Amino acid sequence: MKDERREMSTKSKKQPAGNRTSMTRAALELAIAEAVRTSNPECSALIGIIVERVVPKTPGGANWAVKGIKFGKADRARCSAAISKLVEDGQLEFEISD
């Protein structure tokens, strides 16, 4: 089963940039924040994520990055781990349209 997961994750990382879903910065910030809040009960107090538009470092690279995180009373370590994973996956799936 682990080999299947590794194979699936390798395939998803090869996704071409043209297949990314466009969304506004505000929608992306909200989507990431909601996903983090629901990922762990200790992250439910997370206030928000701040995303900025960036120039991709490589052709087909992500055009956004996390600029800041408003943790509130949420557990920073657990939320940071969830955010890292969500951002890594999100940069392959989404691009900022505004």
Number of structural domains in the chain = 1
Task: Give the chain's end-to-end CA distance (angstroms, integer).
Answer: 40
Please check whether residue 77 lies inside any domain of the structure. yes
Which comes out higher in pLDDT, residue 73 or 2? 73
Task: Count CB atoms within 10 A of the CB of residue 28.
Answer: 22
Please check whether residue 32 lies inside any domain of the structure. yes
Closest CA to 53 of 68, 64, 66, 67: 64
Give me the domain span that covers residue 67: 23-96
Given a cut of 80, is residue 2 above it in pLDDT? Answer: no
- What's the CA gap between 47 and 27, in Å, rounded? 15
Question: For residue range 15-71, what is the model confidence (pLDDT) as tens digits?
Answer: 444 689 999 999 999 999 999 999 999 999 999 999 999 999 999 899 999 999 999
